[in-house]
Structures are given as C-alpha cells and as structure tokens.
Amino acid sequence: MDLDLILLGTSASLPTAQRAPAALLVRRGGERLLFDCAEGTQRQLLRSQVGLPELDAIFLTHFHADHILGLPGMLKTFALRGRETTLPIHGPPGLGEMMAQLRRIHGRLSYELDLVELAAGACVPRDGYQLRAFALDHGVSAIGYAIVEDERPGRFDVEAADRLGVPNGPARGALQHGQAVTLDDGTRVHPRDVVGEARPGRTLVIAGDTAPSQAVVAAATGADVLVHEATFAEDERERARETRHSTALDAARVGLAAGVRLLVLTHISGRYFGPELAREARGVFPATVVPRDFDVIEIPFAERGEPRRVKGGAAPLERPRTASDDPSTAAQPGSDAAAGA
C-alpha cells in the first residue's frame, strides 16, 4: 500500500513568495489526511499534482492562526461542491471552541463536522493503522501525531507448505490468515509452520510547532519519517528558545535520538532559503531533507528501500496557449468547450 506525504506549505508564520504556511497531506492507499490547514491550503492543493481531494480527515496540531486560517474557505468549498460525508477534524483541547469561532465565518455547511479533541496519549484506531497523539512543547494546547501502521502478516513460505503437503487453495488462505488446518491425512499444520514473522508496518510522525522535546523523541523512536519544524538556524537559537520553536540542529538531535530513517524539516522562517538549514542539520544527522513546497516524501516498506524526497512542483500559472486564445481568429463553435471544475 502506498504511503507518502506532500508538503503543501513549508513556511513559518509569515509566508514568502516561495513557501506557503503550514499544511501537509498524507496519502495512504485511497485515504487523504490533511495535517494543519494554513491560509491558502485549498489552493496549494489545487496547484499540486493532487488537486483538492475529498479529505477523509483533518488533524490540527494547534490553533495558531498560521495553522488554521485555511479551514473556513476549504470547508466552504467542500460545501459548494456538495459534500455530504461527515468530515472528522481532530485537534488538541480547545478544538470545539476554536471551530465555533470559525463557524461564524464559514456558516452552514452541507455536511457534518465531527470534532474530536485529543489529549496527548490518545489513540485513534483507523483502518490498518493507529493515530497516536503526543505532547509538544510550544506553550499552547498542542499535539503531534504518529501514524503507526498495523503489523503486516509474515511472508507465506511456499516451499514449506509444499513440503508439508498443504494443497493449493483455501487451506493456504486459512493459514495465511492465522488459522490452523488439518490435512486429509490427518496432519495438523499451524500458521507458524508456513508463515514467517509478522513484519512491522510503517510509522510516520508529524510533530507540529515545538521546542525540542523528549516526548517527540519517544513518539518518533524507530519511525520511518519524522516531520519536524526547523523555524530557525543556529544564528537565532535564542529566538528559537523564546518562541518555543526549534533550530535545524535541535531537530537533527531529535532525529538522531529517535533513530528515524528520514528527518524532514519544515516551518522555515523567511530568513532562510533551506540549504543552510539542511547543512546545519546534516552535520549531526545526515538523513535530513529540507523540502520545498509541493515536494513529496515517499515512504516505502522497509524491505523496499529508504524513504525519499521526490521533487514536486506546482501547476503552471498559465495553461498552454492555443489558437483559440487569439481573439483575432474566428471563433470555432465549441472550440473553447472549457475545462475544469
């Protein structure tokens, strides 16, 4: 099953021409999960290779304006598109109150919102994985999220099954699903005889805004990917401490302590381009990337390779010009039979 994430906004609170404020989309199989929703997120999605999907759920890390201002417009857009499915929105304590404020702005919707307040330590079981909330250190009500996939069944050992005389068909299926079977000759075959060790699923950890924190290290221990903020470089270490943010070096130390496979730095102050943060972090933890907006982080199962950044890119501002764009040419009826939404 595919698992990746798309960085829709990688700036700190003040956006720049190159970086939009915080949002990222996780795609797992057919599921679409949005983490944080800064102003402009719906359009970042439209500009991405994904388009604006019917989200399955939204997860907010905290309620600072630069993480939530895209919600009212996006929720309204879903309504204008006629959404009817309930949309779950998760967040730390205070979610209900914050959404009540936003409701005055977006007004009535065509679908229900299911608001789920999560304390650190809470666990939301979902189909094939769990979402675990963990504490952040940002001075406000805030949680990070770990997506922890269920274990996968071990590999089926065809040679062993042949040797034991397990016939092709339902008997092998039952063994794969953990049930013992009795063969025609009376032999009892147990799943452990033909199925290997269960294999771990993947873990993707999304820490929101936070000073470096042991709780994040604990949540991310052994994770495939840790998305961690790196608002500042070392030149602004003091400011990072005052504002309960992290430097790139802080984040690298968290990644190192947790032993993650890939550290993804985001929430970059407009002071920085990115490469200088990557350099500072890689000195301590080489498996670090500092993506640009629209970059994708692919997370294969461990046996299939390392998580990696794939360069994304936005839709071009202009569609390719065609002859019909030129008003001096005669209009062909139907030649501009329009696109889009």
| Residues of the shown chain interacting with a second copy in the complex, contacts defined by CB under 8 A | 13-18, 20-21, 39-40, 42-43, 46-47, 65-66, 69-70, 72-73, 76-77, 80-81, 101-102, 104-107, 233, 269-273, 275-276, 278-279, 282, 292-294, 313-319, 324-327, 331, 336, 338-341
Describe the crossing of helices 275-282 and 248-258 by its angle, rounded to 10 degrees: 40
From CA 124, how far away is CA 105, in angstroms rounded?
Answer: 29
Closest to a second copy by CB, 112 or 325: 325
Instruction: State whether residue 202 is helix, strand or coil.
Output: coil
Closest to a second copy by CB, 72 or 144: 72
Closest to a second copy by CB, 177 or 279: 279
Shortest CB 173 distance to a second copy, Å: 45
Shortest CB 200 distance to a second copy, Å: 30
* 162-188 burial code (b ≥16 CB/10 A, e <16): eeeebeeeebbeebbeeeebeeeeeee
Closest to a second copy by CB, 40 or 88: 40
**Among all residues, which ones are annotated catalytic?**
66
Q: What sign has the CA pseudo-torsion 167, 171, 175, 179?
A: negative
Could you tell me which residues are beta bridge partners of residue 149? 129
Centre a 10 Å sphere on the Cβ of residue 142 and count the other Cβ atoms it contains.
Answer: 26
What are the Cα distances from residue 268, in Å, to 179, 215, 231?
A: 51, 22, 4
Shortest CB 323 distance to a second copy, Å: 10
Shortest CB 180 distance to a second copy, Å: 53
Contacts of 130 (CB under 8 A, 6+ apart): 123, 124, 147, 148, 150
